[in-house]
Amino acid sequence: MFGVKHIFLWSLVAASGALPQNSPAASASSAGTSLQAGNCTAPSILDYVVTLRPGLSEGEATAHLKWLRSLPPSRRRPQGPQGIYHYGENRGYSGNFDDEAVKKIESRKEVKSISRNQLFHINSTPQWNIQKQASWSLGDITPGPEDTKDQYTYDARAGNGTFVYVFDTGINSLHEEFETRVIERICLADECEWPKPLTGRSGADINGHGTHVAGIIAGAKFGVAKQAQIIDVRICKTKTCPGLTYVTSDVAAILQALAWTKADVRAKGRQGRAVINFSIGCKNFGINRDVQLLFSDVFEAGILPVVCAGNEGLPAKWSSPRGQPEVLTVGAHDKNHKETGFSNYGPAVDILAPGVDIKSANWKDPLGAAFMDGTSMATAYASGMALYLLSVSNNITSPKDLKQTIIDMASDNVTVLEMGTTGRGKGKIRKAGSRSPRRRLFNKAAARGKLFQDG
């Protein structure tokens, strides 16, 4: 599918659905169309997501589910609770419920919230090592004269002792980029065949997006944090139609992934050493309070979530969790340090990072590379930077410190757009207060040597 050719990941937040397999790269003008083939439509999702109150006993949770199953049957299928989960103090489920059932569930004292489900789509003196013939994007985030921009200067500890949880389509951990550093995988999409954590190498990527993203974060050649440990958290599923493949996720899978990650980090003592890479976007935009609250929870638990701004050229603040203080929201710029037309924008964006013509691991070839464009790729660079800083600094003691350090190190050598140039935001004027900040990802730690060496 990929080889060495351009892939535009408009499906990150676009209403257009996932990029068709074996198709030309999607163009900016395709964003906002409704993709379908014949009678084939996007995958259906369960109507509602229910979050139970923290601290429920096993008996109370069991009693609630027993009560739920006693409700009169709905005409909707499937009936009853689906996707039941319990990770640490977090419990919940999803299901199809009629209006009367929703009111009854909402009134129960053991229920924290019930909300409409939403469809999401995929949206790429220390010892110093110098990587020659690096991709432009790696050289771009580190200091040096223009004639050395094909070199990536980095601390040899880059990523050592840190962990990244990649919420995506899965990772082909057989690729040479990952060596043996994909240490665990779990699948929380509703079609998953392994809903419990597994170890061992696997080619389990359903689309290639996750492998490409993980390679940027922590690949041996393409990655920023070359020693980081990777946890593959698959939240996406596929639906294949003639000439078209949808790749989607939903609120139910995202909440489960956040709850599982929070519990896993806590159980293994990884607080302050873990990052979530979330290169997924809401199809129809919208604010979801449950999603916001759980992203805040993982932040308070010692994990920095790094999220993509999205690829529709529209305000990033229109969908959760973008713009929350508890996440780092990342837009994209090109080789000329100009904000891309497809990147969602505005004050909700914290920083811009390379997102055009990005080279990373090819899921179909364990030795090969692929090129992709998108805020997914930009987000992966920011996640890699976060892991890099955690591995070389003793001064960063919280996700808040880590986010602020990345922002403080940013370069202002970037041009932000004053008018939309593509997608659904084409031609729209961006007034001064609605533009993205003039900040691009930049590793000043590599320029200042000992700043992060000994804390």
Q: Three-state SS for 9?
A: coil
Q: How many domains does the chain have?
A: 2
Per the residue annotation, which of 209, 249, 360, 373 is the catalytic one? 209
Per-residue CA distances from 210 to 88, 254, 280, 372 (Å) = 26, 15, 10, 12
Instruction: Examine the residue annotation and report whether 168 is marked as an active-site residue of this protein.
Output: yes
Examine the fold and report which residue of 86, 117, 148 is the final residue of a domain before the chain moves on: 117
127 shares its domain with 112? no
Give me the domain span that covers residue 250.
Answer: 10-22+121-452
228 shares its domain with 203? yes
Q: Three-state SS for 328?
A: strand
> The pTM is what?
0.81
Per the residue annotation, which of 137, 249, 343, 376 is the catalytic one? 376
Residue 94: per-residue pLDDT = 87
Return the bridge partners of 358, or none: 372
**What's the CATH code of the domain at 213?**
3.40.50.200
CA dist 376 and 207 (Å) reads 14
> DSSP assignment, residue 382?
H
Examine the fold and report which residue of 92, 117, 142 is the final residue of a domain before the chain moves on: 117
The reply to whether omega before 321 is within 30° of 0 (cis) is yes
Instruction: Examine the residue annotation and report whether 360 is marked as an active-site residue of this protein.
Output: no
Domain assignment of residue 221, yes or no: yes
Examine the fold and report which residue of 80, 98, 117 is the final residue of a domain before the chain moves on: 117
334 shares its domain with 420? yes
109 shares its domain with 125? no
Comparing CA positions, the residue from 230, 132, 222, 237 lying closest to residue 183 is 230
89 shares its domain with 152? no
Residue 450: per-residue pLDDT = 33
Q: Three-state SS for 30?
A: helix
Crossing angle for the helix pair 289-300 and 251-267, to the nearest 10 degrees? 10
141 shares its domain with 15? yes
Instruction: Examine the residue annotation and report whether 209 is marked as an active-site residue of this protein.
Output: yes
**What's the CATH code of the domain at 104?**
3.30.70
Per-residue pLDDT of the chain (455 residues; tens, 9 = 90+): 222 323 333 333 332 222 223 322 332 222 222 223 345 566 667 788 999 999 899 999 999 999 998 888 766 555 678 888 898 889 999 888 888 889 999 999 999 999 888 877 775 333 444 444 556 777 677 655 554 456 777 888 999 999 999 999 999 999 999 999 999 999 998 888 666 888 888 888 998 999 999 999 999 999 999 999 999 999 998 877 777 777 888 899 999 999 999 999 999 999 999 999 999 876 667 888 999 999 999 999 999 999 999 998 999 999 999 999 999 999 999 999 999 999 999 999 999 999 998 999 999 999 999 999 999 999 999 999 999 999 998 889 999 999 999 999 999 999 999 888 887 778 788 887 889 999 999 987 665 443 333 32
Mode of pairing for the β-strands spanning 90-95 and 48-52: antiparallel
Per the residue annotation, which of 155, 168, 190, 334 is the catalytic one? 168
Mode of pairing for the β-strands spanning 328-333 and 369-372: unpaired
Residue 47 has a CB neighbour count (10 Å cut-off) of 15
113 shares its domain with 158? no
Pull the structure tokens for residue 26: 């999607």
